[in-house]
Amino acid sequence: MLVAAAVCPCPPLLVPELAAGAAPELDAARAACTDGLGVLAAARPDLLVVVGAAEESGHGAYAEGTRGSFRGFGVDIDVRLGRAADEATAPEPSRRPLPSSLAVAAWLLERTGWADAPIEGLAVGEPLTPERCTEMGRDIAARAERVALLVMGDASACRTLKAPGYLDERAEPFDASVAHALGKADVTALKALDTELAHELQASGRAPWQVLAGAAEQAGLSGSLLYDEAPYGVGYLVATWS
């Protein structure tokens, strides 16, 4: 059963070395993410599942110990999802590198010294329907008596003229609706997110948020919104459910 969740953004710029001189601009976001992981640790889960946006269509599982890297962003930093696995006997999913969203999660977990529960990773692709995402969330919640979720995904990328998706007047109200749903732990509202609009606004968090909605259906959790800003024209949200 789901006992806690933390929702965090997944820009590689959360890693200070990638942001270089602009790193202080995301200090508040990093602090909020740290607070979110503290809520997960306080829940004492038997299992932590990290759900993030996939870089390709579909979805994929990642075993504990799977490696990731930020070398593609020009920085010589490697990460690992949780404790090291025996690579010679690791299941096939562990041999694929972590997608960017899960690599950022792995960096956050390493930064906060996570050692509270075993970890599994799941990347979900944009084409997945809300119904499929919800079903996956239900399956996750049933994997252990006490399950925690770390959900990685960004809101719209269209908040300003310099945003990756340019300015779209629909972006701010969309992000506001997501922020309200996450802050209130509103499962119904997350399930009802407009998939086409989310796609047009380049909101990578839509599928991960709907996995959370499925996992939380029977949990009766309360939400708290810790961060809601768009420093680079991309909506970054941090919330906790407990």
- pLDDT score at 205: 97
Which tokens is 49 given? Answer: 């599942």
Confidence of residue 90 (pLDDT cuts 50, 70, 90): very low
Beta pairing, strands 147-152 & 2-8: parallel
Q: Is 61 exposed, middle or buried (0-12, 13-18, 19+ CB in 10 A)?
A: middle
The pTM assigned to this predicted structure is: 0.94
Integer Cα distance of 94 and 106 in angstroms: 14
Q: Is the dihedral of CA 168, 171, 172, 173 positive or negative?
A: positive
State pLDDT tens for residues 173-207.
999 999 999 999 999 999 999 999 999 999 999 99
Which pLDDT does position 87 carry in this prediction?
47
The domains of the chain are located at 2-241
Note the pLDDT tens digit of each residue in 143-163: 999 999 999 999 999 999 999
pLDDT of residue 57: 65
List, for residues 99-119, the tens digit of each pLDDT value: 999 999 999 999 988 887 999
Taking residues 218-222, report their average pLDDT.
Answer: 95
d(CA 95, CA 87): 8
pLDDT above 80 for 241: yes
Q: Does domain 2-241 have CATH number 3.40.30.10?
A: no
User: Strand (E) positions, 13-114?
Assistant: 47-53, 59-62, 67-69, 78-80
Name 120's bridge partners: 49
